[in-house]
Amino acid sequence: MTESTTPPWRAMALMGATGTGKTALALDVAASCGSVIISCDSMQLYCGLDIGTAKASVEERQRIRHHLIDCADISEVWSAQRWADAALEIIKQENGQGRVPLIVGGTGMYLRALVEGFAKIPEEKEGVRDYFVSLQAEYGTPYLHDLLKQCDPILAERLHNTDSQRIMRGLCIYKSTNVPLSTWQAEQEAQKERIDCPVFVLNVPRPELRERLAKRIDAMMVAGWLDEVRWLKEQQVSELHPAMRAVGYRQLLMYLNDECSLQEALRDAITASRKYAKRQVTWFRNQTPNAVQGDAEALKQAMVEQLKA
């Protein structure tokens, strides 16, 4: 594959766990460099979910222009790829004006969709997966891996012979399209628009973060979060909607559905927030190995220097 000579689009990402203070740092950096902010948060997309998602305030958005906040009605469901497509268009517009936008949030899969892309692969044909599931039940996953070696040796080489989910996917795509999954992925890579997007990850010591998250939930309740969750319940969106399963919202919905007391809901919300933050920390540590990690003071200096370079 010949590498494109087209200069890459430019952006910068500030990521981190919930409650680490990304918004405050991003506002300072954006103000210093004349950048706009692109929200990288799967819940801040939706109108009406303001308090529980810790959206930037109206005043903060007046100070620095924000994108991909309040861009979807609660009846919609956005995918990572839809967000990435929208973010790319904003990056192009900003680069055209000589600016490098700042991507800010905690939804790592959205950033991955933007930087790495997802292969646009045809749907599996009906009945194909059932066929391979029956083979797996009779002969086991290593047998399926041997089958994958015959039709998609490139993909098979990447996978352990017990990686049932990805082996199954590779076999189903080949059976459905007569084209190896690795070929679809390579074509996507060749067509992908290049983005130069250094990543910075904001860290806060775990004991401090745990305390912050508890205090933030208290502050959200004072700000009227329960009314916001009550409004969400009234919208009667599907139980499968991301908002219905979001950290904090799900626990307060249980209270509104008389499944627990308010005290229990808040306790569980704090616990869920802490567990979610821990998962985010682990994700950014493992999935963004080249990111610059540090506290707010160190990252601010490094980010401003790079944006002004």
> Residue 157's domain is classified under what CATH number?
1.10.20.140
Quick check: is 60 in a domain? yes
How many structural domains are present in the chain? Answer: 2
Quick check: is 294 in a domain? yes
**pLDDT higher for 163 or 269?**
269
First CA to last CA distance, the chain: 31
Encode pLDDT of 68-107 as tens digits.
Answer: 999 999 999 888 889 999 999 999 999 999 999 999 999 9
For residues 229 and 268, membership in a common domain is answered with yes
Confidence check: pLDDT of 207 > 90: yes
Cα 176 to its chain centre, rounded Å, is 29
- CA dist 56 and 219 (Å) reads 15
The pLDDT value recorded for residue 309 is: 75
Quick check: is 3 in a domain? no
For residues 92 and 137, membership in a common domain is answered with no
- CA dist 145 and 178 (Å) reads 17
**pLDDT higher for 50 or 1?**
50
The pLDDT value recorded for residue 79 is: 85
Whether 270 and 285 have beta carbons less than 8 Å apart is answered as: no
Residue among 64, 19, 20, 17 at smallest CA distance from 38: 64
Beta-strand (E) ranges in the chain?
A: 9-10, 12-16, 37-40, 66-67, 102-105, 195-196, 199-202, 292-294
Confidence check: pLDDT of 6 > 70: no
The pLDDT value recorded for residue 185 is: 80
The pLDDT value recorded for residue 3 is: 45
Residue among 284, 304, 307 at smallest CA distance from 296: 304
- CA dist 105 and 102 (Å) reads 10
The residue segments making up the domain with residue 17 are 9-117+193-308
- CA dist 66 and 61 (Å) reads 6
The pLDDT value recorded for residue 4 is: 47
The pLDDT value recorded for residue 1 is: 36
Count CB atoms within 10 A of the CB of residue 8.
Answer: 12
**pLDDT higher for 124 or 224?**
224
Confidence check: pLDDT of 190 > 80: no
For residues 58 and 170, membership in a common domain is answered with no
For residues 178 and 69, membership in a common domain is answered with no
Whether 224 and 51 have beta carbons less than 8 Å apart is answered as: yes
Residue among 109, 143, 144, 126 at smallest CA distance from 283: 109
Average pLDDT, stretch 11-25?
97
For residues 285 and 208, membership in a common domain is answered with yes
The pLDDT value recorded for residue 116 is: 81
For residues 295 and 218, membership in a common domain is answered with yes
For residues 173 and 203, membership in a common domain is answered with no
Average model confidence (pLDDT) for the chain? 92
Encode pLDDT of 246-263 as tens digits.
Answer: 999 999 999 999 999 999
- CA dist 106 and 22 (Å) reads 9
The pLDDT value recorded for residue 87 is: 96
- CA dist 221 and 218 (Å) reads 5
Encode pLDDT of 218-227 as tens digits.
Answer: 999 999 999 9
Report the share of the chain in percent with pLDDT over 70.
95
